[in-house]
Amino acid sequence: MRILKITLGLLVIVVALATYKADTIMKPDAELGSIAPAVAFTALDDSAVPLASLRGKVVLLDFWSST
């Protein structure tokens, strides 16, 4: 019975710490529905594509590295 109480106590502590971290540390910099920052990306033909030119369209950004 004592092991069960200790396990439940530790579980409560872990959940409390995870909730605390999620609320204080892992907040996104931007709010949902806010305007994206002014950035430009390079297209496959080496032309610059400003993100603002795609306003109103669905944009999927895929960041990857081959290093």
Q: What is the mean pLDDT of residues 3-25?
A: 71
DSSP string computed for 10-39: HHHHHHHHHHHHHHHT---SS-TTPPPP--
Nearest Cα to Cα of residue 6 among 19, 17, 14, 20: 14
Against a cut of 0.75, is the pTM above it? no
Q: For residue range 22-60, what is the model confidence (pLDDT) as tens digits?
A: 555 555 667 777 777 788 888 889 899 898 898 888 888
Number of structural domains (the chain) is 1
3-state SS, residue 41: strand
Q: For residue 67, is pLDDT > 80?
A: no
14 found inside a domain: yes
Q: Which domain holds residue 25?
A: 1-29
7 found inside a domain: yes
